[in-house]
Amino acid sequence: MPTSKDTPAPDAPSKDTHSKHAPSTCKDCKPNPSPNTPSIAHLVAPLPTHPEFEHDPLLPQALGEVPAPAGQPDPALRLRRTLAPIVEPAGGVLDPTVFRPLKLAGKSRLSHDTARYRLALPRDTDTLGLPIGQHVSLAATIDGRRVVRSYTPTSLDSERGYFDLIVKTYHHGLMSSYLDHLPIGGSVDVRGPKGQFNYTPALARHLLLVAGGSGITPMYRIIKSAALDPGDNTRMSLVFANVSEEDILLRNELDHLTTKSNGRLTIHYVLEHPPPGWTGGVGYVTREMLEERLPTGGPAGGKVLLCGPPGMTKVVKGALKDMGYYVPRRPSMLEDDIFVF
Ligand SMILES: Cc1cc2nc3c(=O)[nH]c(=O)nc-3n(C[C@H](O)[C@H](O)[C@H](O)COP(=O)(O)OP(=O)(O)OC[C@H]3O[C@@H](n4cnc5c(N)ncnc54)[C@H](O)[C@@H]3O)c2cc1C
């Protein structure tokens, strides 16, 4: 099984031969005969409430799931205000109010439960149009129900003609299983940009980024953008926690970015079950690990970005609160000391 070590460096030419051609022209791009497996069929109802729906009660109307009451403004207009990014879109394929079907152009497994999905933009010259720090919504009709979930692409807008998602497959997870079984050439609906975070080189002198597992995706896009930009002087300290060494996503890419960053990026890998001879952190993320890497001068010196499983974010927020950080509202806002994705 390929691991993250098999993936190309972020700015190296792609070796993914399946990403740029029409799937029908490639003998290796055979459609999966069963896009919807019976394993998720019993989960159709009730769909668990998802954070996506907590912030905008009109979202179901805008998605056409319930009719808008007569006399009320077009829900799509409200959606544009509530879900639209805090900056103008960078010009690209994305629209914050309209889902566009985009085709799966390539897929590669990165770990036992996580894969990289490459979605083709309509033209080779197209850019996605996603500000750094923001994410997209994916939607699909799965066994008769409209399912919408958020994902953070790992590619930059400078990568034209496609964008990449790294998605962990959950047993019985609706969207992640749908993607896992999506054949090359199959489509999923995409809308965006979304989110309250907008990274610019002027945002902070120093960022402490704390990620767990697939929570690396928003951090990775920020790090990639900052490390590859010679005009960006932001210092970045990443604490990246995983269960075992095989679970570390994008490790080659992250190590490559460390080299490219001219000393601005340092990474502390933390493993719950380290292999013999492991020299990184062991166990869970601790207060000491954070303290050693926090921006000098506390909250005034820089921000903390956080993305990972609920247990990890709770412990990290508690430790930071003890160290004088203001624990953020939910959802986090750009001006918060700690931004939780
Ligand atoms: C801003 C943002 C960005 C994100 N970016 C990424 C990203 O880049 N990559 C990524 O992998 N994820 C990302 N996520 C998480 C993603 O949005 C989904 O939540 C995730 O993929 C799971 O969705 P799902 O439909 O597969 O699972 P769901 O169907 O939502 O299920 C989630 C879990 O609940 C369990 N479950 C489902 N139904 C039931 C039931 N009836 N009874 C009991 N258990 C049940 C499933 O087994 C699974 O473990 C992001 C989330 C946010 C908010």
How does pLDDT run across 8-49, given as a tens digit for each residue?
Answer: 333 333 333 334 444 334 444 333 434 443 333 332 322 233
How does pLDDT run across 250-262, given as a tens digit for each residue?
Answer: 999 999 999 999 9
How does pLDDT run across 167-214, given as a tens digit for each residue?
Answer: 999 999 999 999 999 999 999 999 999 998 999 999 999 999 999 999
Residues 205, 27: Cα–Cα separation, whole Å: 50
All structural domains of the chain: 4-194 (2.40.30.10), 206-340 (3.40.50.80)
Atom of ligand 1 nearest to the CA of 147: 25
Q: Is 151 annotated as a binding residue?
A: yes
CA 292 to ligand 1 center in whole angstroms: 32
- pLDDT given at position 285: 96
Banded pLDDT at 164 (limits 50, 70, 90)? very high
- CA 250 to chain centroid: 12
Residues in the chain: 341
Atom of ligand 1 nearest to the CA of 194: 1
How does pLDDT run across 77-135, given as a tens digit for each residue?
Answer: 444 444 444 444 457 999 999 999 999 999 999 999 999 999 999 999 999 999 999 99
How does pLDDT run across 224-238, given as a tens digit for each residue?
Answer: 999 999 999 999 999
Q: Is 176 annotated as a binding residue?
A: yes
Residues 308, 76: Cα–Cα separation, whole Å: 31
Helix, strand, or coil here: 265?
strand
